[in-house]
Structure 1
Amino acid sequence: MKAAVLYEVNQPLVIEDVSLPKPGPREVLIRTTVAGLCHSDLHFMEGLYPHPLPAVLGHESAGVVEQVGSDVTYVKPGDHVVTCLSVFCGTCDNCTTGRTVLCTDTTVKLLPGASNRMQWSKPEKLHQFLNLSSFAEQMLVHENAIVKIRKEMPLDLAALIGCGVITGYGAVVNTAKVTAGETVAVIGCGGVGMAAINGAQIAGAGRIIAIDTNPAKLQLATKLGATDIINPADGDVVKQVRDLTNGGVHHSFEVLGRKETAEQAFGMLASGGTATIVGMIPFGQKIELHGFDFLRERRIQGSSMGSNHFRVDMPRLVDFYLRGRLHLEDWISAKLKLSEINEGFANMKAGKTLRSVIVFDS
């Protein structure tokens, strides 16, 4: 099969011939249908987060089950599935207390470099990425890394749910637990930010402020639920939000992964408000906050993959789409072949796309 391999950081991905063994116990072989290009992949490509190389990246995907290994009871060949990097064991302390996204069982949620699922003709080891590696025509994964979905759901749109949608929506609904009538600000209107905006609308937020420097993205944000838009080019973002809300928001969401915007997210809170950091701030970078602000019970927290329970959350998101409440068609800017993957990432870096997807031949 063909796969896009990252050999070195800050170098183009290379299309190579790769193979996978037959599924072992509790493993599932999937024919990849669609894989989204996510900014998280770009972080690893640029060396902002470490990972053993060479590796096949990709983690936002949907496909069709081809084979199952022994002891697999959840899926069968022909099932349509969405993948999720939040693979879980179901028995560790975090899993049994409802926080499967923080599973600690490294025999199921394999650490970087531990997987031996990918094979090729070269002597060096080819590494699986986040237990998935979806920039390939097939994936071999643990059965607890996938969720079955209804076959009437288009797979190109379903793939988006696997990372961008669940991350943004989940940050609002699961992590922050936004309730009806509360005010929300979202910093960054990329794919995850749009999911947070759409999620805030579904949650019933009273006011949703979209913040971005791209006027086209701001206009799309209004279609997805934003009631107000702010462009940082027009002046101090924190002041604009405070002026607009007469003192600050109940919830802010930072989805860009930058020090300055994380600090702004905290600064725009009303007393008692919560800032949720969704973006991947570069490894080792620190943020600075005013200690006095904590005296007014302002809080800051992280969100991992939208604090998801993906076996429950993703089918619900599919239902939201099929009922017209989740507007996924507006998110896909380009459909590409695997051979065009580097062009897709270049357009992402240039801010030309909201979400590009690789569509594999059936």
Structure 2
Amino acid sequence: MVRAAVLPSVGAPLEITEIDLPEPGPGEVRVRLAAAGVCHSDLSLSDGTMKVPVPAVLGHEGAGTVVAVGEGVTHVAPGAEIVLNWAPACGSCHPCSLGEVWLCVNALAGAGNVYARRADDGTDLHPGLNVAAFAEETVVPAACVLPLPAGVPLTDAALLGCAVLTGYGAVHHAARVRQGETVAVFGVGGVGLSALQAARIAGASKIVAVDVSPEKEALARGAGATDYVVASANTPREIRALTGKQGVDVAVECVGRAVTIRTAWESTRRGGRTTVVGIGGKDQQVTFNALEIFHWGRTLAGCVYGNADPARDVPVLAEHVRAGRLDLDALVTERIALDGIPAAFDNMIAGKGGRALVVF
């Protein structure tokens, strides 16, 4: 038995309880978690913004050590340090055939499976976003396990599984920020901090961080922001004032709210690119008139998982970590135990802090 944070039903409080895990079957791997990041997607699953079969063990951003492997697993062995890949591409659907593995239609096919049971009453449990990282140990398909490159601390490596892949990918793959361009990042949470570091790595000449909280300025500047704007109705004007009255070349929205998406759009220069990373609800309606779309010539694009290919990008991120260009520890503002996850959710709702990291 291992301890886990179980979501009994949508909208219900998480319950810290013991669960029974099976031994890994063919093509499966059992992992002892070292750490798991608390992501806004976990909050979106718990409150019903995103769908998840329940009861479930949430958590999808994790790293740990292989305990055992099932028949046919050859790319990792017991004792190996790994990063969890919550969205493994099938390699055969239409998006995968186009090389767009982040859009794989079968990536979450395993989330509806039963993977464990509650120890107290035998209730079947589903793995939230495939990997159920809010637990001391988990059993996952082998495709959900990526060997951790050397030189990356195992605990910090959990952040590579979602926040860093998403923020880095939004800048380098989706927005394709070029040397010397100006960038604004909206939302200074775990993904936003990763995007700020990625913009610095890309060689952006000016990096503007935008958040509702004045207290996050030091955090943002530590990640690479050259300027900080407290979000208000005047934000687009402030950003234009910082960029020769033009607006930024690239705006990266990491909040997922209609007003923030609209503000990011208005803060982008004529002909610039606005990339939306944040996951919003169906009630968040963003409106544009036909004339402004023509006049401004901006590109507005969604971004799923940073348009990343984890197998390709994790080694690249590891090289940035080894070279000192990417600071994973700087993304973490709180290290907690399993029972600290509800408070971490509350902090996200309140817009406080960067990434909370469950350390086992």
Please state which band the TM-score falls in when normalised by the shorter chain: over 0.9
Q: Which position in structure 2 is the counterpart of 1:32?
A: 33
Distance 1:47 1:15, change over 3 A: same
TM-score (norm 2): 0.93
2:318 is matched with: 318
List runs of 5+ in structure 2 lacking aligned partners: none
The worse-fitting range, judged by mean Cα deviation, of 209-218 and 129-138 is 209-218
| Alpha-carbon distance, 1:123 to partner | 5.6
Using the alignment, how far apart are the partners of 2:177 and 2:19 within structure 1? 44
Q: CA deviation at 1:195?
A: 0.6
Identity of aligned residues (%): 39
Cα distance in 1 for partners of 2:189, 2:124 equals 34
Per the alignment, residue 132 of structure 1 pairs with 131
Corresponding position of 1:213: 212
1:201 corresponding residue in structure 2: 200
The residue aligned with 1:15 is 16
Aligned to 1:261: 260
Counterparts of 1:52 and 1:285 in 2: how far apart (Å)? 24
Question: In structure 2, the residue corresponding to 1:243 is in which secondary structure?
Answer: helix
Alpha-carbon deviation of 1:301?
0.7
- Using the alignment, how far apart are the partners of 1:307 and 1:120 within structure 2? 35
Q: Which secondary structure does the structure 1 equivalent of 2:311 belong to?
A: helix
CA–CA separation in structure 2 for the residues paired with 1:53 and 1:291: 42
State the match for 1:145 in structure 2: 144
Contact kept? 1:27, 1:68, Cα under 8 Å: yes
Please report how far the alpha carbon of residue 297 of structure 1 lies from its aligned counterpart in structure 2 after TM superposition: 2.0
For the Cα contact (< 8 Å) 1:89–1:109, is it kept in 2?
Answer: no
C-alpha separation in 2, matches of 1:280 and 1:228:
25
Matched, 1:238 2:236: yes
Cα separation, 2, equivalents of 1:242 and 1:135 = 42
Deviates most, 339-348 or 136-145 = 339-348
Letter paired with 1:160: L
Q: Which amino acid aligns with 1:154?
A: P
- Between the aligned partners of 1:293 and 1:249, the Cα distance in structure 2 is 17
Q: Distance in 1 between matches of 2:45 and 2:108?
A: 19
**In structure 2, what is the equivalent of residue 270 of structure 1?**
269
The equivalent residue for 2:299 is 299
Tell me how far 1:271 sits from its aligned partner: 1.5
Structure 1 residue 157: Cα displacement: 0.9
2:104 is matched with which residue? 103
**Structure 1 residues 109 and 73: CA distance shift in structure 2, 3 A:** farther
Unpaired segments ≥5 residues, structure 1: none
Q: Structure 1 residue 97: deviation in Å? A: 2.5
SS in 2 for 1:158: helix
Cα-to-partner distance string for 1:81-124 (whole Å, 9 max, x where unaligned)? 111222112233322332111122x3x641642x1222235364
Amino acid at match of 2:349: K
1:81 paired residue number:
82
* 2:70 aligned partner: 69
C-alpha distance in 2, partners of 1:213/1:339? 27
What secondary structure sits across from 2:75 in the alignment?
Answer: coil
The letter of the residue matching 1:71 is G
After superposition, give the CA deviation of every residue in 1:7-36 in whole Å (9 maximum; x if it has no partner): 133332101221222222322111111011
Change (3 A) 1:198 1:31: same
Provide the secondary structure at the position in 1 that maps to 2:152. coil
Corresponding residue pairs, total: 356
